[in-house]
Amino acid sequence: MKKLSLAKLNDFFAAIAAKQALYLPVNNKVGKADFTKWTAGTEMSKALNTVRSAKDFFFPQTENLMDFKMEGKNIEVIDSREECEDFVVFGVRACDAASFAILDSVYLVDPVDSYYKNRREHGTVVTMACGKPAETCFCGTFGIDAANPAGDVTVWEVADGYMLRANTEKGEALLAATADLLEAGDEKAVEAAQAKTREIMAKLPLAGLTFDGVGVGKTKELFDRPEWKTLSESCLGCGTCTFVCPTCQCYDVRDFDTGNGIKRFRCWDSCMYSDFTLMAHGNSRNSQVERFRQRFMHKLVYYPDRNNGTFGCVGCGRCLARCPISMNIVKVAKTLGGNK
Amino acid sequence: MQEMMKNRAYALLENGTVDRVLGWTRGEFAYDMTPAVFRNADEVKNGFVYNDFCAANLSKYLVKECRAGGKILVFLKPCDTYSFNQLLAEHRIKRDMIYVVGIECFGKADVEKIKEMGIEGITGITAKDGIYTVSTIYGDKAIKPADVMAERCLACKSKKHVVYDELIGNEGEVVEDCNRFDMVAKLEAMTPDERYEFWRGELSRCIRCNACRNICPACTCEQCIFDNPNSGVSQKAAVNSFEENMFHIIRAFHVAGRCTDCGECSRVCPQNIPLHLLNRKFIKDVNTFYGDYQAGEDPTAKPPLGKYEKNDIEPGEAGGAKE
Amino acid sequence: MQDVKEFRPTIVAFCCNWCSYAGADLAGSSRLVYPADVKIIRVPCSCRVNPLFILRAFQRGADGVIMAGCHPGDCHYTSGNYFARRRMTLLFSMLDYLGIERERTRVEWISAAEGAKFAKTMNEFVATVTALGENKRLEDLRCKK
């Protein structure tokens, strides 16, 4: 356990940024937090979480895969991948840190997604325990401890500074590189901070929420439930829930004609969209009920089925706060599961 | 208000005037009400909720609901009735399948503003005697509704229902001095460089989730051009500065002269982009160049882009630097 | 030695088939000179010009876009240019509102007999856009060579 005094926080950031790109939550012009690159004078946001999740760092919203140039009957394929530099993401919360394991289970299994892997290898994740979880938080439902997040380094905010603990080799290396700014830390301060966070978590309205009614092996039981119709009735079919979700991992691959060649890119896609998985014969899910069901069945049933019961949700609460019509995974799970 | 609305819903379901009711149902918290269709009195009894957090404009749902069989009762706030009229003008909804109950509106609350006051861990919100009592896990807080009123309600253009079959509460007036163009005027007064910086700062946050388009009562195309793979502009989440500009310019242009300024686009934007400022620019320009026009006010009026005058202003004479 | 290239703008001109395109033709057959930077796209009527056309022209590398049609009142289809005029008025005003240089877009009414006006307009417009320089505010980096 190491300690960083409050006064040295900026030096700490500067020391990291001197060697690699450092990203941390910073308030944008409307006062909401976004992960932003640190430069001298950048102030870390005090917000509980960022509007967009931290998945952007490993699975960006759009990325170029390759370029094509055509000359006569010849097509030249150009690998447009850029060299990925080492970077550090500071201030990732427990929920987002847990989402990386879910993304890994999709992108790092055979066939390995080399674009994702490359970013994963170059990124160091510094997580930060939550001080004041909000009413939309329900990471506890999935066994995630907001007071003890995963990641390469875990940071706790204490009265006069920050406590840091390295969890992996990458984390050790980061703390070693900044060792002259750190001092030895006392576990007790961390325990006190954790106790405070857990006490708040226990009081929040979604404390004790379980997803027992959904999960492994429930496909047959849940697929034809009549509630899907009423739940999806007001769904607009927009992609807000998908795009703020830290675990949504679907993408579309498209070609963009630049007028002097083709750029093949991939971008986030949403199963809520009418042109999701559009094929030559048309669409496989023609109504919003089917699309809506797909999104929630994927997170609540299909994904757990294939991953030893782990849900495809980390309880960050972004969709609860952001859905234009306030329909979300908690309402769905409660309605289908029939539990509190 | 909620009880009066429920009672009317029971009565109209009972006497067979309507078969379904479109309203709001309770959420997980005190502030996240979801639009819902109720099919009988029991469903209304158990699920129907109306309070200051029921902000959603229900008129767009009618495009689908008026074709779902049977007559539907809908509760509309004054601003929603403009959207309703506009949909009627464009033949997107069937008037005889809808029973409109207008509801008096005193402005809607924006929970974001409550949270911005530093109020966290909200477990309940009650309204009594013109004060909201917000219960949190850290204790209760009393706040004035005026302090947390939604931005669009602070610039409310009309408290008058332009269409209804019956009314609950009192009828209001069109607000003549609503100041809704103040920010547009402020932007117009800036230099092009300042304006460019302003809009880059806003639009660069766009995540292309399409919430603004999908909530918009004027966006009712069967297939949006941005969803049509044959259009050449359907690029999904391809986010770069050009795509952001193009999407928002074209979206605003497609609703120019049809947008009633209901403010739903800005309300739902997960990135808090002030999209209404684009729509209001078009509304202001239409008013300046072609005479005052309020979309949705009169369903028989000709839309400003669907008509012309021989002595209309030339593009080179409108705004900005002149040639 | 550094190769300093003089900036030559790319100008897209949407010309209506009945007046302005014929005007361009007349400018050509009268041997009037206007810059080769102007790329003409013939449209059946100025009313065919969708706001997307203008934006797409900028996306694909135009530095200036001009729309030319029949004089108001002379539209081959009676009223197409009146509708186009309203649309472009609003669109250009919006571009200006977003801070995109107002001088990069222009509308001109040019009849089939006005070859001289066509050449003069294009000369003027090319000069204006050349002075403004490259289109940066409405560019799509993916389309740059």
The pLDDT tens digits for A200-253 are 999 999 998 999 889 899 999 999 999 999 999 999 999 999 999 999 999 999
* CA nearest to B116, candidates A200, A29, A32: A32
**CA nearest A256 in C: which residue?**
C142
Do residues C7 and C130 touch, judged by C-beta distance below 8 A?
yes
Q: Each residue of A1-18: pLDDT tens digit? A: 899 999 999 999 999 999
CA–CA–CA angle B174, C87, C66 (5° rounding): 150
State the virtual CA torsion across A150, A153, A154, A155 in degrees, nearest 10: -160
Least Cα separation, residue A177 to chain B (angstroms): 34
CA distance A335 to A324: 19
B233 shares a domain with B284: yes
User: Which residue, B131, B148, B165, sits at the end of a domain?
Assistant: B148
CA distance A196 to A148: 12
Can you read off the two tokens belonging to residue B153?
A: 């309600």
Do residues A75 and A68 touch, judged by C-beta distance below 8 A?
yes
Q: Each residue of A250-305: pLDDT tens digit? A: 999 988 888 888 999 999 999 999 889 888 888 889 999 999 999 999 999 999 99
Least Cα separation, residue C61 to chain A (angstroms): 9
**CA nearest B264 in A: which residue?**
A324
Q: Where are the alpha helices (DSSP H) in B72-207?
A: 78-89, 111-116, 151-154, 182-189, 192-203
C-alpha B255: how far from chain center: 13
Please tell me what DSSP assigns to residue B226.
G
B115 shares a domain with B193: no
B198 shares a domain with B115: no
Do residues C116 and C30 touch, judged by C-beta distance below 8 A?
yes
Residue B238: the pLDDT is 73
* CA nearest to A206, candidates B27, B118, B125, B109: B27
Side-chain-facing half-sphere of A28: CA atoms under 13 Å: 22
B187 shares a domain with B138: no
Strands across the sheet with A262-268, in order? Answer: A74-79, A62-71, A262-268, A251-257
pLDDT at residue B323 is higher than 50: no
Residue B210 one-letter amino acid: N
Residue C119: the pLDDT is 96
Hey, which bits of chain B come out as E strands?
20-25, 34-38, 72-76, 98-103, 122-128, 131-136, 139-143, 166-168
Least Cα separation, residue C22 to chain B (angstroms): 22
Beta-bridge mates of residue A257: A262
Beta-bridge mates of residue C42: C15
Q: Is residue B266 part of a domain?
A: yes
B293 touches chain C (CB under 8 A): no
Q: Each residue of B85-119: pLDDT tens digit? A: 999 999 999 999 999 999 999 999 999 999 999 99
Instruction: Using an 8 Å CB-CB cutoff, list chain A residues near C61.
Output: 259
Please tell me whether residue A262 adopts helix, strand or coil conformation.
strand
C46 touches chain B (CB under 8 A): no
Instruction: Using an 8 Å CB-CB cutoff, list chain B residues near A327.
Output: 34
Residue A142 one-letter amino acid: F
pLDDT at residue A190 is higher than 70: yes
B192 shares a domain with B297: yes
Can you read off the two tokens belonging to residue B63?
A: 């495009």
Residue B94 one-letter amino acid: K
Q: How many CB pairs under 8 A join A and C?
A: 11
CA–CA–CA angle B11, B12, B18 (5° rounding): 155
Residue A155: the pLDDT is 95
Q: Is residue B246 part of a domain?
A: yes
What would the mean pLDDT of B120-138 be, rounded to a whole number?
A: 91
- Which residues neighbour A34 within 8 Å (Cβ) at sequence distance 6 or greater? A25, A26, A27, A28, A50, A51, A52, B205
Q: Each residue of B185-199: pLDDT tens digit? A: 999 999 999 999 999
CA distance A98 to A150: 7
Does this model's pTM top 0.90? My answer is yes
What would the mean pLDDT of B258-269 be, rounded to a whole number?
A: 95
CB atoms within 10 A of CB A280: 4
Q: Which residue has the higher pLDDT, B228 or B50?
A: B50
Residue A322: the pLDDT is 94
The answer for B 178-197 residues in CB contact with C (under 8 A) is: 184, 187-188, 192-197
Residue C4: the pLDDT is 64
Do residues B209 and A242 touch, judged by C-beta distance below 8 A?
yes
CATH topology of domain C11-143: Rossmann fold (3.40.50)
Residue B321: the pLDDT is 41
Residue corresponding to tokens 């005697």? B129
A111 prior amide bond cis, ω within 30 = yes
B258 touches chain C (CB under 8 A): no
pLDDT at residue A306 is higher than 80: yes
Do residues B31 and B53 touch, judged by C-beta distance below 8 A?
yes
Residue B322: the pLDDT is 37
pLDDT at residue B141 is higher than 60: yes
Verify whether the Cβ–Cβ distance B246 to C83 is below 8 Å: no
Q: Which of C12, C139, C140, C142 to mutate to test the interface with A (most CBs of A within 10 A)?
A: C142
Residue A259: the pLDDT is 86
Instruction: Report the share of chain B in percent with pLDDT over 90.
Output: 87
pLDDT at residue B249 is higher than 70: yes
Distances (CA, A) of A226 to A8, A220, A230, A233, A336: 58, 13, 8, 12, 10
Could you state, in order of their start, the residue ranges of all structural domains in chain C? 11-143
DSSP string, C49-80: --HHHHHHHHHTT-SEEEEEEPPTT--TTSSH
State the virtual CA torsion across A231, A236, A238, A239 in degrees, nearest 10: -20
Q: Each residue of C53-76: pLDDT tens digit? A: 999 999 999 999 999 999 999 999
Residue C3: the pLDDT is 59
Residue A70: the pLDDT is 87
Q: Each residue of C80-117: pLDDT tens digit? A: 999 999 999 999 999 999 999 999 999 999 999 999 99
B143 shares a domain with B187: no
CA distance B181 to B175: 13
Q: Each residue of A94-144: pLDDT tens digit? A: 999 999 999 999 999 999 999 999 999 999 999 999 999 999 999 999 999
C-alpha C84: how far from chain center: 14
pLDDT at residue B241 is higher than 50: yes
B188 shares a domain with B132: no
B144 shares a domain with B187: no
pLDDT at residue B316 is higher than 60: yes
Instruction: Using an 8 Å CB-CB cutoff, list chain C residues near A256.
Output: 142
CA distance B45 to A187: 54
User: With DSSP H G I counted as helix, E B as strand and the rest as coil, what are the percentages for chain B, rounded to 5?
Assistant: 40, 15, 45
Structural domain for B118, as ranges: 111-148
pLDDT band (50, 70, 90) for residue A340: very low
Q: How many distinct structural domains can be found in chain B?
A: 2
Q: Is residue B213 part of a domain?
A: yes
B220 shares a domain with B123: no
Verify whether the Cβ–Cβ distance B310 to C55 is below 8 Å: no
Give, for A281, the enclosing helix (H) or strand (E).
none
Q: Each residue of B12-49: pLDDT tens digit? A: 999 999 999 999 998 889 899 999 999 999 999 999 99
